[in-house]
């Protein structure tokens, strides 16, 4: 069986998941495990260095994965253009694919592509969200000044109001950010 063609198993109903999994035939268990592994690997994009104006270039996830996240529509940035990549070193985005895409499961709306500063990292840590300390159990290296990261728009707006907002890459900032932050505020903080 080719791992590239695995599909999720049919809906399992009844007992708690682990018991349902244990009731599956060994081939079905292997299929489920391979699907889980494939999904994890598909979510980890390979970073490819490219001499582009935006700096970093990540391998784009499969169209199937992107369609699932975006429900079939092309994501737009705050300028009304196709959403560009934010960064992949470290890998950012709610879906950890380098893009500040959002969806129903993204309760924080990680839509603002920002370039980290020490001032902002100190600010967000003081608010209970420590982005600078590595968390190996989450495969999170910790951020440092200069890293690109998809921020929750509400935290970015809070930092903006406090005068410590990091600069924004508008081309990689999802249009959903406009529900909380004004375009003029984002443009004021644009990377120059």
For residues 11 and 77, state if they share a domain. Answer: no
- Quote the mean pLDDT of the chain: 77
pLDDT of residue 128 exceeding 90, the answer is yes
For residues 60 and 108, state if they share a domain. Answer: yes
Domain that residue 10 falls in = 3-43
For residues 145 and 102, state if they share a domain. Answer: yes
**Residue 26: phi, psi to the nearest 5?**
-55, -40
For residues 32 and 58, state if they share a domain. Answer: no
For residues 36 and 69, state if they share a domain. Answer: no
Q: How far does CA 147 lie from the centroid of its chain?
A: 14
Cα separation of 182 and 161, whole Å? 12
What is the 8-class DSSP label of residue 177?
A: G
3-state secondary structure 105-138: CCCCCEEEEEECCHHHHHHHHHCCCCCCCCEHHH
5-14, 96-105, 108-117: which range is least confident on average?
Answer: 5-14
Mean pLDDT over 17-28 rounds to 57
**What is the β-pairing status of strands 110-115 and 55-58?**
unpaired
- Specify whether the CB–CB gap between 150 and 100 falls below 8 A: yes
For residues 34 and 66, state if they share a domain. Answer: no
* Between residues 113 and 25, the one the model is more confident about: 113
pLDDT of residue 184: 96
For residues 39 and 54, state if they share a domain. Answer: no
For residues 83 and 162, state if they share a domain. Answer: yes
* Between residues 87 and 22, the one the model is more confident about: 87
pLDDT of residue 17: 43
- Specify whether the CB–CB gap between 170 and 190 falls below 8 A: yes
For residues 99 and 113, state if they share a domain. Answer: yes
| CATH number assigned to the domain comprising residue 83 | 3.30.56.110
Nearest to 42 by CA among 72, 83, 3: 3
For residues 79 and 146, state if they share a domain. Answer: yes
Number of Cα atoms under 13 Å in the Cβ half of residue 74: 7
């Amino acid at each position: 069986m080719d791992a590239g063609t695995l599909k999720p198993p049919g809906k399992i109903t009844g007992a708690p998941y682990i018991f349902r999994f244990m009731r599956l035939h060994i081939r079905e268990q292997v299929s489920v495990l391979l699907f889980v592994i494939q999904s994890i690997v598909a979510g980890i994009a390979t970073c490819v260095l490219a001499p582009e104006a935006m700096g970093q270039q990540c391998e784009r996830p499969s169209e199937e994965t992107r369609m699932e996240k975006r429900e079939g529509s092309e994501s737009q940035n705050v300028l009304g253009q196709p959403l560009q990549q934010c960064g992949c070193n470290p890998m950012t985005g709610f879906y950890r694919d380098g893009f500040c895409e959002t969806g129903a499961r993204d309760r924080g709306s990680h839509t603002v592509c920002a370039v980290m500063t020490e001032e902002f990292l100190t600010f967000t840590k003081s608010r209970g969200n420590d982005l600078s300390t590595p968390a190996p159990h989450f495969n999170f290296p910790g951020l440092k000044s200069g890293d690109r990261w998809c921020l929750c728009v509400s935290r970015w707006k809070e930092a903006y109001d406090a005068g410590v907002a990091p600069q924004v890459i508008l081309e990689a900032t999802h249009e959903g950010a406009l529900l909380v932050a004004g375009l003029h505020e984002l443009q004021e903080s644009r990377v120059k």
